Structure 1
Amino acid sequence: MPVIKGILFDKDGTLVDFQATWFAIGDLMALQAAGGDRANANTLMEAAGYDYEKHCFRADSVFAAGTNADIVALWYPDLSPAERQAKVNFFDTFTAEEGAAQSVALPGSKEAVASLHSRGFRIGLATNDSTGGAEKTLLALGIAQMFDAAYGYDAVANPKPAPDSIYAFSDLTGLKPSEIAMVGDNRHDLEMAKAGGALAIGVLSGTGTRESLMPLADVVLNSIADLPAYLTDQV
């Protein structure tokens, strides 16, 4: 295996506690889409991937892995293209502010990023959130200065699972894709890694399960807290 010199992290479920951060935000979005109707809002949340019996988002669901554009397409199927784009823009602004304000770092995630940064790894973020939301969250967590770049779905021509963010990070850092690890909790993250020629590292700290991640992952870790030790062992 080539020596890994750069790491692209997914955000929600990898750096940030997805369930703790996003249920309240998603619920507010669904209530607005439902015109304040509680039962209809619950139906919309279920369609987007929330399991009310298990109190969590389903792996690889629209809310867990998709973009705001995917959510708008699901919840507002009858909007015109212009109306749909306006709604996407509204949700991008809303989730950027609220996602940063409500963000809960996963245990050990900030320490892992700091450790890897101190060892000279180039570090980036690749998310299907908006770029503004990603940057605001990194600032809120106090780790923005350790990241070379943040790529939201609106920063590249094609979001995850397309490999555009890997190529952009490769161009920025001068690293080959094979020298980059993509770390995430959903199949979208690992599909992007495979498509772009990067190392695919799955983590169990988000909505993905070992069963859902193993077929695509080069390795599955409990969380990114285990990543510094894993990369030390690869040298």
Structure 2
Amino acid sequence: MSHPPSTLEVSTTPTRPGPIRAVVFDLDGVVVDSSAVMRAAFSVAYAEVVGPGPAPFEEYNKHMGRYFPDIMRLMGLPLEMEEPFVRESYRLAHQVPLFPGVRETLEELSERGIRMAVATGKSGPRARSLLDLLGVLHLFDHVIGSDEVPRPKPAPDIVLRALELLGMPPHQAMMVGDAITDLTSGRDAGVTTVATTWHGGDVEGLLAAAPDLVAHKPEELLVHCPAVPAT
């Protein structure tokens, strides 16, 4: 799908008051390009628990952003798939790259004094382990997994928890995600929602969810995140 020029776009929904002082990121499809590893881990888990036959990864991918046990329930698959899925995800973690431009964008946001958190469908320990392996864990003030809040996305709990830990009000924060669940979670938490398109998934469906902003490259986030004045 072709994209308009690489500038941060404003959708039909107006942005909330700023200035932005905190950014909450989803992980998979936004910070890290984990699709290939997740497909491999899902295929192994399906074969071990369910049996032979093609693993329905395309259906799994439609629920991306949700907590793995919730996806299993939605798909009618055994919860026992979680153990081999997590095992394989750890084993293959070294194959997961950052998206191009992410490291530089995170470093620049940090230099500007922007507080940052990750709010992910992964478990907290697995997310922190992956970010540490990639050498960017130190750039985030907090990394929160779906196992560390009462209700995972699309509920707002994980974004609200991030705001609480960051000490930021909703009107000074944005939620950056590649899935409708991210936008719903952020919107219900009262923050500015940003849809990303660099993951190459169902961009049209994502934009139909009316995010406040759209970013086609990580560095476009910088447009809305000016440096925090020194106090």
Q: TM class, shorter-chain normalised?
A: 0.7 to 0.9
* Distance change >3 Å, CA 46–CA 165, structure 1 → 2: closer
State the Cα distance separating 1:12 from its structure 2 match: 0.7
Alignment of 1:142-221 (within 5 A): 142-206=135-199, 207-221=201-215
State the Cα distance separating 1:67 from its structure 2 match: 1.9
Letter in 2 for 1:156: V
Aligned counterpart, 1:106: 99
Aligned counterpart, 2:54: 41
> Which has the larger helix fraction?
1
Alignment of 1:127-142 (within 5 A): 127-142=120-135
Aligned-pair identity in percent equals: 26
State the Cα distance separating 1:225 from its structure 2 match: 2.5
- CA deviation profile, 1:30-63 (whole Å, cap 9, x unmatched): 222333x1xx233x334424xxxxxxxxxxx12x
Aligned counterpart, 2:6: none
Letter in 2 for 1:220: V
2 CA distance for matches of 1:224 and 1:32? Answer: 37
- CA deviation profile, 1:85-123 (whole Å, cap 9, x unmatched): xx2662574255146333111000111111101111111
State the Cα distance separating 1:227 from its structure 2 match: 1.0
Q: How many residues align?
A: 211
Alignment of 1:75-114 (within 5 A): 77=77, 84=79, 87=80, 90-91=83-84, 93-94=86-87, 97-98=90-91, 100-114=93-107
Partner of 2:125: helix, strand, or coil?
Answer: helix
Aligned counterpart, 1:2: 18
Moved more, 150-159 or 164-173: 164-173
TM-score of the aligned structures, taking structure 2 as reference length: 0.81
TM-score of the aligned structures, taking structure 1 as reference length: 0.80
Q: Structure 1 residue 70 and structure 2 residue 63: aligned?
A: no
* Distance change >3 Å, CA 124–CA 208, structure 1 → 2: farther
State the Cα distance separating 1:232 from its structure 2 match: 3.7
Q: Higher relative contact order at CA 8 Å, sep ≥6: structure 1 or structure 2?
A: 2
Q: Contact conserved, 2:21 with 2:225, CA < 8 A, in 1?
A: no
2 CA distance for matches of 1:219 and 1:232? Answer: 16
Partner of 2:54: helix, strand, or coil?
Answer: helix
State the Cα distance separating 1:70 from its structure 2 match: 2.5
Partner of 2:143: helix, strand, or coil?
Answer: strand
**Runs of 5+ in structure 1 lacking a partner?**
50-60
Aligned counterpart, 1:229: 223
Partner of 1:17: helix, strand, or coil?
Answer: coil
Q: Contact conserved, 1:214 with 1:220, CA < 8 A, in 2?
A: no
Partner of 1:160: helix, strand, or coil?
Answer: coil
* Distance change >3 Å, CA 20–CA 226, structure 1 → 2: farther
Q: Contact conserved, 1:7 with 1:121, CA < 8 A, in 2?
A: yes
Q: Structure 1 residue 24 and structure 2 residue 40: aligned?
A: yes
2 CA distance for matches of 1:95 and 1:180? Answer: 34
Query: Structure 1: which 4+ aligned runs deviate by more than 6 Å?
Result: none
Q: CA RMSD in A?
A: 2.4
2 CA distance for matches of 1:103 and 1:229? Answer: 27
